[in-house]
Structure 1
């Protein structure tokens, strides 16, 4: 007896595949994000996903794009609230660190680089570049580029090695997050003093 599958329009099919890919990424790691695994997760065929994404690399690039766009949008809003004194700058550091750890962007980026799929990082880099461009409007002299660089690299490194290094140094596992939040608070308070 066959089970009837609900027909999805192309956008619904892509969305379902990306949601499944994200679940696989978070549950089983980036190596689990294959066309076959995602197809099985949503009850579609490998050929169906091949049609939508072209390849596993295409699927991973779209997954990276969706994660990056969601995260950079949230971070951008948090930066604007922190500049206005309506939020703590530490929230920005937390969101950035979460993007690379609990959202899976760090593991996915490392996997893409190590598997030779550097082009799939382009969506992440484009989202970061767009966010920085937006944040620089009216703040060109505020070193937004440098702040983004150190915060991103620190969050990426922490997602891959942070807890192990912290443990080896007998530090709390969230020490890098605390350092980033403290430094970011200081930079924002210096650039936007409260009256």
Structure 2
């Protein structure tokens, strides 16, 4: 009886292994939810061992923390570019609203943030709060003093996007509203702030 050899695993550098794990963790987050982001599940998805991921992240919480840092950097960078582009072209803020809502909803940041809060790991959200703070500080430098403070706009937009990610679908269904109603309200808020 002959045995078919298993395919050899591709050797990855430590950085490649870490990046593959974070990408798999984000995919699991979006597909299944934050409870699915475990070292065992991520290791299985990328064909690595639990010990390999333990070496890189220390624990499942360490993996989730690294994922939060990665998501915070990506979200703040993407929104920064959109805001600067919007300022240069004086376009309406629909793109910024869409990016914020997508980050919390389809990007999984809302579910992960909620999971961390509910499991008593609120400190893990510090990278998100720091990224938002840094972004607001950077954008406020070019913000007209006559306009509404950018921190207020950011607070409203983030709270609306997070709330919509968590229970926007059932709430709009219950109220008989279109699913994207909160996005429209957020856009109108930003437009109103710009006019007044």
Q: TM-score range by the shorter chain?
A: over 0.9
Aligned to 1:193: none
Query: Within 2, Cα distance between the matches of 1:96 and 1:189?
Result: 21
Query: Within 1, Cα distance between the matches of 2:11 and 2:99?
Result: 36
Match of 2:174 among 143, 146, 168: 168
Matches within 5 A, 1:130-141: 130-139=134-143, 141=145
Q: Report the Cα offset of residue 118 of structure 1.
A: 1.1
Aligned to 2:188: 182
Aligned to 1:20: 24
Question: Which string of whole-angstrom CA distances, capped at 9 and with x for unpartnered residues, describes residues 33-72 of structure 1?
Answer: 0000000000111111111111111111111111121111
Aligned to 1:146: 152
Q: Choose between structure 1 and 2 for higher RCO, CA contacts under 8 A separated by at least 6 residues.
A: 1
Task: State which drifts further: 75-84 or 50-59.
Answer: 75-84
Normalising by structure 1, we get a TM-score of: 0.92
RMSD over aligned Cα atoms: 1.4
Q: Report the Cα offset of residue 140 of structure 1.
A: 6.7
**Is 1:48 the counterpart of 2:52 in the alignment?**
yes
Instruction: State the SS of the aligned residue for 2:9.
Output: coil
Q: Which runs of 4+ in 1 moved over 3 A?
A: none
Normalising by structure 2, we get a TM-score of: 0.92
Unaligned segments of structure 1, at least 5 residues: 191-195
**Is 1:68 the counterpart of 2:72 in the alignment?**
yes
Instruction: State the SS of the aligned residue for 2:89.
Output: coil
Match of 2:94 among 90, 95, 100: 90
Match of 1:99 among 91, 98, 103: 103
On the 8 A contact 1:100/1:106 being kept in 2, the answer is yes
Unaligned segments of structure 2, at least 5 residues: none
Query: Within 1, Cα distance between the matches of 2:122 and 2:23?
Result: 22
Aligned residues: 190
On the 8 A contact 1:89/1:188 being kept in 2, the answer is no
